[in-house]
Structure 1
Amino acid sequence: MKQKKLLTLFLTVATSFSMLVACSNATFAESTGTATVTESTNTTDKKQKADENQDAAKQLLVDLTGSYQELWPVILDEKYQQIWIDDCTELVGEENAEAAYDKLASMVSGTIYGEEAVEAYKDGDGVYDCSFKEGVNKLEFNGSDSVIKGYDSEGKEIFSHTYHYVGIEEVRGLYEFKSDDADSGEFTYFCIAPDTNDTTYHIELRYGSDLEALGKYDEGDYAYWLGSGISTDYDQTMVENCIELFCKENLSE
Structure 2
Amino acid sequence: MKKTLTLSFAVAMALSLCACGSEKSSTPNYESNESAAVSEKLTPAEQLLEGLKGTYDELFTVICDEKYDQIWLDKCEAFVGKDMAESAAEMLKSSCTATIYGEDAVNAYTNAEDMRFDCYFINGVKQFVFNGSNISGIDDSGKKLFEHEYRFVKDFSFGGMMDGYLYETTDNDAGEFKYFLMMPDTPATTYHTEFRYGSDLNDLAEYSKGAYAYWLAAGIPANCGEKMIEDCISLFVEENLSEAAEEEEQSAA
Q: TM-score, normalised by structure 2?
A: 0.77
Aligned equivalent of 1:181, options 148, 171, 192: 171
| 2:213 corresponds to 1:226 | no
Flag the structure with more relative contact order, 1 or 2, with Cα contacts below 8 A and sequence separation at least 6. Answer: 2
Kindly provide the CA deviation profile for residues 170-202 of structure 1, in whole angstroms up to 9, marking residues without a partner as x: 221021111131231000000011111111111
Partner of 2:242: 252
Aligned pairs for 1:142-153 within 5 A: 142-143=131-132, 146-153=133-140
In the alignment, residue 141 of structure 1 is paired with which amino acid?
A: F
1:199 & 1:189 partners in 2: Cα distance?
24
Partner of 1:154: 141
Aligned pairs for 1:1-253 within 5 A: 55-124=43-112, 125-143=114-132, 146-170=133-157, 171=160, 172-253=162-243
SS across alignment from 2:189? coil
2:128 & 2:81 partners in 1: Cα distance?
38
Q: Tell me how far 1:129 sits from its aligned partner.
A: 0.7
Q: Tell me how far 1:212 sits from its aligned partner.
A: 1.3
For the aligned residue pairs, the C-alpha RMSD in angstroms reads: 1.3
Q: Tell me how far 1:246 sits from its aligned partner.
A: 0.1
1:107 & 1:168 partners in 2: Cα distance?
27
2:234 & 2:62 partners in 1: Cα distance?
14
**Structure richer in helix, relative to its length:** 1
Q: Which has the larger radius of gyration?
A: 1
Q: Which runs of 4+ in 1 moved over 3 A?
A: none
2:95 & 2:134 partners in 1: Cα distance?
31
Partner of 2:8: none
Kindly provide the CA deviation profile for residues 135-190 of structure 1, in whole angstroms up to 9, marking residues without a partner as x: 000100111xx100001011111100000111222221021111131231000000
- In percent, how many aligned pairs have the same letter? 50
In the alignment, residue 114 of structure 1 is paired with which amino acid?
A: G
2:84 & 2:111 partners in 1: Cα distance?
26
Unmatched 5+ stretches in structure 2:
1-39, 244-253
1:123 & 1:96 partners in 2: Cα distance?
25
Size of the alignment, in residue pairs? 199
